[in-house]
Every structure is written in structure tokens, then in C-alpha cells.
Amino acid sequence: MKRLMAWSGLFFLVFVLFHAYGNLHYFEGEIAYDHYAYFLRELLVPIVPHGGVLWILRVLLLACLLAHAGSAFHLWARNRRARGTDKYAVKKAGAEYFASRYAMRTMRWGGVILLLFIVWHILQFTTLSLTPGGQYVHGRAYMNMYYGFQLWWVYLIYAVALAALCLHVWHGVWSALQTLGATRGGTVPLVRLVAFVVAFGLFAAFMVVPTAILFGLTDAPMDAAEYAMRAAEAGIGSSH
């Protein structure tokens, strides 16, 4: 169960690292960013149909989500059963006990916040069912994000979710590397450092784009006519 958690967690981590890096294309401008979103849908065409790789990724992510959350719940339930009614029978001493309980709580609540966030995120940017800040359009990822992050409360939702992600990754990377056997001998300080750098680097990489949008540091999206012309020049077709 712990290995399943570790592997599915690491798969998620690779996904969010690529996602954060991909979002940085925002600073290259509207056409470049939407071109990147379009490119993701064109991957391996015509070996697979338009959007095929994206669907494979969605299925893999969903499978990992079920494996990750399912094994977390199973381990929690088993732990609870094993403890029985005497909750404090195997209490660790002082600071160590506090630290591990604190980490467990953070992981549990962090996991719940992240699940809720993913639902919100898909409704906002994939299905466009919730469109705070303006009239979103399929394929115009730059514009949709620009509209969303004009609003402080949308920004806040992302900041809270990313803080949860950061804490989750911080503890998760450490825990996964331990489960997979990377913390034998003298590697402990290095593993702790890797977990810290990855987690906070991820937070910074994700938050830089919404922050720039909120503070008016990015260009406003083009009007429909200009966009249609420029998108056609760049060869971006209907991209959803």
C-alpha cells in the first residue's frame, strides 16, 4: 500500500512539475501560450486522434488519483483499527510525536483541499462550467486565465491550494523516498533538502503567473477579430 502511494504520488509530482513549467509559457504571450495548449492536443497525431495523448494522460491521472487516495484511506483505516480504543498506546516521545502527528494531519487535510481544488480547476479551465471574471472560450487558455486571475478570490483559491500542494509534496517526497529505500545511511539530510527545494520551487513556479496577472504585469488578451487572424497565421485550429 505504501509503495502504491509512493509510486502514484511520484507520477503526480512529475505531472505537476511539467504543468508548472508549461504554465511559464504564459510570459511568451497569448499566441505562444495557446499554441502550447494546442500542441498538447496534437501530440502524436496522426498515430493517435486529435487530443488522444491528453486523454491517455487523463486516464492515467485518474487511475493514480484512485490508487493514491484509496491507499491513503486504507492505511488510515488499518491504523485506526490497529490502535483500537486505546488511542495513545504507542505514543512517541515529545517533539517527534508532535511532528509526525502534525505531518499526518497536514497530509489528510491537504489531500482533501487538493481533491476539492482539482474539481474546481477542471470546472474552471477544462469544461468552462464556472467562468469567473469573463466570458471564457475553449482553446483560448491565455484569455481564460487572464480573466480568472483578475479576481482576488480566484487568486486566493489557487494560493491556498498551492500551499496545500507544497506541504503535501514536502512531506510526500520525503515519505516516498523513505518507503522506496532512499534514506539509508547518510542520505537523510540530502533527501530532506531535495524534498524542501522541490516543494517550494513548485509553489513559486505555479504562483508566478497568477501573481503577474493579478498585478497587471501581463498583456490583456486580443479582441476576437485580431485573435482569429493571429491564431490562423500560427496554425492554431479549433483546439478542444
Count of beta carbons in the 10 Å neighbourhood of residue 85: 5
**Nearest-approach distance from CB 17 to ligand HEM, in angstroms:** 11
**Nearest-approach distance from CB 235 to ligand HEM, in angstroms:** 16
**Nearest-approach distance from CB 127 to ligand HEM, in angstroms:** 9
**Nearest-approach distance from CB 224 to ligand HEM, in angstroms:** 18
* CA distance linking residue 236 with residue 111, whole number of Å: 36
**Nearest-approach distance from CB 107 to ligand HEM, in angstroms:** 15
The residue (of 6 and 166) whose beta carbon lies closer to ligand HEM is: 166
The residue (of 40 and 188) whose beta carbon lies closer to ligand HEM is: 40
* CA distance linking residue 190 with residue 192, whole number of Å: 5
The residue (of 126 and 187) whose beta carbon lies closer to ligand HEM is: 126
**Nearest-approach distance from CB 195 to ligand HEM, in angstroms:** 17
Q: Interface residues with ligand HEM (CB under 6 A)?
A: 16, 19, 23, 37, 40, 58, 61, 114, 118, 121-122, 125-126, 141, 145, 158, 165, 206, 209-210
